[in-house]
């Protein structure tokens, strides 16, 4: 599925079952890190550290992101499995569902960003959504065969 799917958080708080992993290589009898620390959620979901694209920053409220925020591509066969599930097919997540991880990560913060960008170049709208509303929007978007909407989801503004 040709979609850029990212989450941005003020920090990556510990979540039971979200395991850090870093590839290494041996040189001269010593192990050396290779590449970034990737966080794995079971066998189907990986959070891979990335930067934020300039055009995305421009779509966020001014001053929304702080200096310590973390940016992750959500990789693996996560969207394909969720796509199968929203179409009524049985999916074996191995007790590490994508929507469960997203709920756990987003609910720990007052601010967050979820980015769903078809073809890595299509943002149609910025939403203010609850965590559940964000998950529902993601699933509804995957349920479409054509015309998927590129979106950025932010939590509702405080006091709303």
What percent of the chain shows pLDDT beyond 90? Answer: 69
> Does residue 155 carry a pLDDT above 70?
yes
pLDDT at 121 (0 to 100): 82
Q: Do residues 4 and 73 touch, judged by C-beta distance below 8 A?
A: yes
Q: Using alpha carbons only, what angle is made at residue 143 by residues 74 and 105, rounded to the nearest 5 degrees?
A: 30
Higher pLDDT, 49 or 34: 49
Q: How far apart are the first and last CA of the chain?
A: 35
| Alpha-carbon span 6 to 104, nearest angstrom | 15
**Average pLDDT of every residue of the chain:** 92
Quote the CA–CA distance of 134 and 99 in Å, as a whole number: 10
Cα distance between residue 77 and residue 46, in whole Å:
9
DSSP states along 33-56: E-S--EEEETTTEEEEE----HHH
Q: Which residue has the tokens 């509804």?
A: 140
The pair of structure tokens assigned to 112 is: 């967050």
Which residue has tokens 């891979």? 48
Q: 0.85 cut: is pTM over it?
A: yes
Q: In terms of pLDDT, which residue wins out, 18 or 32?
A: 18
pLDDT at 21 over 80: yes
Question: Strand 151-154 relative to strand 125-128: parallel, antiparallel, unpaired?
Answer: parallel
Summarize pLDDT for 103-121 with one digit per residue, the tens.
999 999 999 999 999 888 8
């Amino acid at each position: 599925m040709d979609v850029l799917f990212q989450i941005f958080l003020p920090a990556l708080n510990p979540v039971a079952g979200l395991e850090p992993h870093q590839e290494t290589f041996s040189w001269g009898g010593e192990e050396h890190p290779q590449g970034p620390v990737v966080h794995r959620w079971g066998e189907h979901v990986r959070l891979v550290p990335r930067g934020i694209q300039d055009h995305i920053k421009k779509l966020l409220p001014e001053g929304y992101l702080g200096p310590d925020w973390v940016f992750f591509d959500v990789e693996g066969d996560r969207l394909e499995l969720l796509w199968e599930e929203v179409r009524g097919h049985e999916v074996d997540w191995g007790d590490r569902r994508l929507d469960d991880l997203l709920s756990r990560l987003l609910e720990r913060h007052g601010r967050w960003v979820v980015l769903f960008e078809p073809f890595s170049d299509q943002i149609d709208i910025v939403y203010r959504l609850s965590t559940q509303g964000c998950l529902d929007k993601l699933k509804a978007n995957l349920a479409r065969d054509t015309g998927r909407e590129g979106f950025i989801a932010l939590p509702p503004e405080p006091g709303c």
